[in-house]
Amino acid sequence: MHLRHVMLHCFKKGNSAKDTTGEIFTVYGSGTTTIRTVGNWFKKFRAGNFELKDEDRSGRPATTDTDIIKTVLTENPRYSVREIVDATNIPKTTVHKHLIKIGYANRCEVWVPHLLLPQDDTINADKYCNQLDQLKAAHRDSEVDNPSISFEFNEANKKRIEALLKIYPEGHKRGAMIPLLDLAQRQHGWLPISAMHKVAEILNVPRMRVYEVATFYTMFNRRPMGKYHVQICTCTPCWLRDSDSIVEAVTKATNCKVGEMSADKLFTVSEVECLGACANAPMFQVNDDYYVSIISRKYFI
């Protein structure tokens, strides 16, 4: 608005649009405006219109477009630009401009805010830390699971490890990683981080290689487990044969919620993916034993 007053002042002095542009560049710096913009204002002044405020524009207000695009992305952040155009009836070039304006960037086919405000950083950090706490892949030191707690294989397992390693040729000892992790879990009841470090030491591999395997396979338990681990298959074949009723009966009989350990530390109940006994659905597994074709709740009484 200030530059428009300057243009009007120069116009009334009798300056040309070109001279006015030069003066503005001298005082405010080059690129502040363009000779075309100054010329358009001078044309308006010559017509007797000295109103410096913007006139009402036709079409949809830009703020409305921005709000609509934000709403669409909130409902489905995986929309492509074409799908945003179809959903909003806003031209593609305008959509691109508004996405840049509101600071959205496409990352892994998901639209996310490119720049976070300080409060957003804090909010997201708290949220994602809570989510990580719920993932078995995320390790947080605790009283029962931290690197300072030593782990050693017992003598029987040391002999088993020695026999296992002889199976693998030199340079390929890491192939014994899963059997060694299984031995550690059977000895300890679950897989603490110190046990993973011991396996990495025996196989002479980086600890990260062991973390990758231990957190990938669901057979490895990264938290304390009950004496009896009840794993109930809830995949499609078992679900169609009413596996939900098994979950209900087991949780009631053990007094233990899914994903938790009972107060007496006897049971841990888990819902799992296919256990490979679809022909005998529904089924569940207790430690290493399968129970198939469950048609009665007598197992839980």
Domains annotated on the chain, with CATH: 2-47 (1.10.10.1450), 66-113 (no CATH), 155-216 (1.10.10.1590), 228-292 (3.40.30.10)
10 Å CB burial of residue 84 (0-12, 13-18, 19+) is: buried
Region of poorest pLDDT, from 26-30, 56-60, 234-238: 56-60
Give 297's pLDDT tier (boundaries 50, 70, 90): low
Distance (Å, whole) CA 98 – CA 12: 38
Indicate the average pLDDT of the chain.
84
| Highest mean pLDDT: which range of 27-41, 102-116, 140-154, 195-209 | 195-209
Confidence of residue 179 (pLDDT cuts 50, 70, 90): very high
CA 54 to chain centre: 45
131-136: average pLDDT: 52
**Three-class SS string for 207-254?**
HHHHHHHHHHCCCCCCCCCCCEEEEEECCHHHHHCCHHHHHHHHHHHH
Location of structure tokens 């487990």? 225
- Least confident among 43-47, 90-94, 125-129, 267-271: 125-129
For residue 267, the SS3 value is: strand
Q: Which residues pair with 284 in a beta bridge?
A: 232, 291
Q: Are 19 and 11 in contact (CB under 8 A)?
A: no
pTM > 0.75: no
Exposed, middle or buried, 122 (CB in 10 Å: 0-12/13-18/19+)?
Answer: exposed
Per-residue model confidence (pLDDT) at position 156: 96
3-state secondary structure of 106: strand
